[in-house]
A and B are shown apart, each in its own frame.
Chain A
Amino acid sequence: MAELSLQHIDKIYDNNVQAVFDFNLDVKDGELIVLVGPSGCGKSTTLRMVAGLEDISNGHLLLDGKDITQTPAKDRDMAMVFQNYALYGHMTIYENMAFSLTLRKENPNVIHKKVLAAAEILGLTSQLNKKPAQLSGGQRQRVAMGRSIVRNPKVFLFDEPLSNLDAKLRGATRREILLLHKRLQATMLYVTHDQTEALTLADRIVCMSMGHVQQVGTPLELYDSPNNVFVASFIGLPPMNFYDVKVSGGQLLGNGFKATLTEEEKKTLAAYEGKDITLGVRPENFTEGSDIKVTVTNNENLGMNTLVYGSIGNTGVKVTAKLKGWKNYKVGETASFSIARKHFFDKETTNAIRGDK
């Protein structure tokens, strides 16, 4: 397979709108990288630049050390799977999967072997004589993947492949992609705005916003040690709660609440004594306790967990807590929570404050 290197890549459109700013990434052989971010953050543009469907304005794209910045898409040896499948409706599944190889005038017997092998991997053997319209969305997406597999490309590119599927099918197809990656050990770039897909699929995640890379790291790194407020708010469901607090004498003083710092946290915030910072608390890091009094506005039971929405006292400061087990808070009732884990962010730069920095 292949190693991919994106070096200082910019995308500037003809109308001078810049979609991607100084994108740097080294993708190792066999790695599955997920580009995640909200709509318009430049993740699909980046993928299309890698595929060769968009020109790279500045920077270099290297595949196995070879500069392919100016190489046409057809010569890049990459296969792309699109959100809308892009299957030929008048062709059978077999013909769809064989199409790219037929265009290359490969030996029909070789094509046949490759198509059958791909169909076997994807569980499509019994569907090969059908037309795309006869298949479900998940099966169609598998056909689109199969069409990529038969080409045996160096890099697989996925552009939001699961967005057209319903929630149940999305989960199943996601697991199939993961199995496929493990089986093929292929280098893959995967674009999504769905953080669940990103967290479950990725070896490493690239989190993007407004054309800038916000953080590159493993799913755990992004979840556990977000670089800034954007990453902290984007990764995690429900999103992280943010509060303006003041660091004062081993305590955090917020609007309507106080939180005591541990010794380690005191060291981390030593340079911020007397200053305002942003406190981040993941909903699942709230526990039933006594530090914060919350007036409950909504109680949603999810089975194993309960989402409790409320505001701190009468301040209007919102709280979303995800508590373990089945809870039955009434609207207007006062609930008491403690914070099990805190994240700190500089109020001006929005960057994370970490003890090791």
Chain B
Amino acid sequence: MSKMTPEEKTIQRDRMRYIKNSACANLCYLALLFDVFYFVLIYRQDVGTYYYNIQIGASVVYNLIFMLAVFLASEAVKNYKKNYSVVLIIAGVMQIVRMFVIPMRAHNAMTLVNAVETKVMTDKTFMLAIIYLAVSSAALLFSAVLNIIRCSALEAHVKSLESHQA
């Protein structure tokens, strides 16, 4: 890849004044998509009565809050709102934490199916769940970092423009 000249760098920064930060927003959408894959995978597990408890209810509520927060943050980062990177970082970390809640516990738990002791979550399902959460988390964290870098560059550029005008 050819290196950008200082002029090209300036133009690229100047473009940010008019172009939305869609890369960061798209990463958020990607995170949402993999979150959807995750909870579809989890909730379609047919393992008897194991899941019908308060923990599942809480996870459903958390999912709703997570999706709403990430969507709102995606709209904010699209418009170069630096502070919303914090929301994305928290959401990203929470996706990692979630790996240790339902998937990990379900993978280690056993239940009786037709009088046969069976694993609540198969190895394959467990791996998929972990991958979905990991991708979702990575997308959110990357989006947050990229947004911080871009917002800082834009701020510096706008300041230099203002100082030139002054």
Seen from chain A, the residues whose Cβ lies within 8 Å of a Cβ on chain B are: 92, 94-95, 108-109, 112-113, 115-116, 128-129
Contacts and interface: CB of A to CB of B under 8 A. Distances in A.
B46 interface: no
Interface in B1-38: 8, 11-12, 14-15, 17-19
22 contacts: A92-B18, A94-B18, A94-B19, A95-B18, A95-B19, A108-B12, A108-B15, A109-B8, A109-B11, A109-B12, A109-B15, A112-B11, A112-B14, A112-B15, A112-B18, A113-B11, A115-B18, A116-B14, A128-B17, A128-B18, A129-B17, A129-B18
Which bracket fits the contact residues of B? Answer: under 10
What are the 3 A-B residue pairs with the smallest beta carbon separation, nearest first?
A94-B18, A109-B11, A112-B15
A323 B15 CA distance: 57
Interface of B: 8, 11-12, 14-15, 17-19
A290 B74 CA distance: 81
A113 B15 CA distance: 9
Contacts of A95: 18-19
A112 B17 CA distance: 11
A94 B18 CA distance: 6
Given A112-B14, A115-B18, 12 more contacts: A94-B19, A95-B18, A95-B19, A109-B8, A109-B11, A109-B12, A109-B15, A112-B15, A113-B11, A116-B14, A129-B17, A129-B18
Contacts of B18: 92, 94-95, 112, 115, 128-129
B158 to A, nearest CB: 13
Contacts of B14: 112, 116
Nearest to A109: B11
Nearest to A110: B11
A317 to B, nearest CB: 63
A318 to B, nearest CB: 58
Nearest to A93: B18
A94 B8 CA distance: 19
Contacts of A129: 17-18
Contacts of B8: 109
Nearest to B10: A109
Name the residue among B11, B12, B14 with the largest chain A CB count within 10 angstroms.
B11
A46 B11 CA distance: 41
A108 B23 CA distance: 15
Contacts of B19: 94-95
Nearest to A108: B15
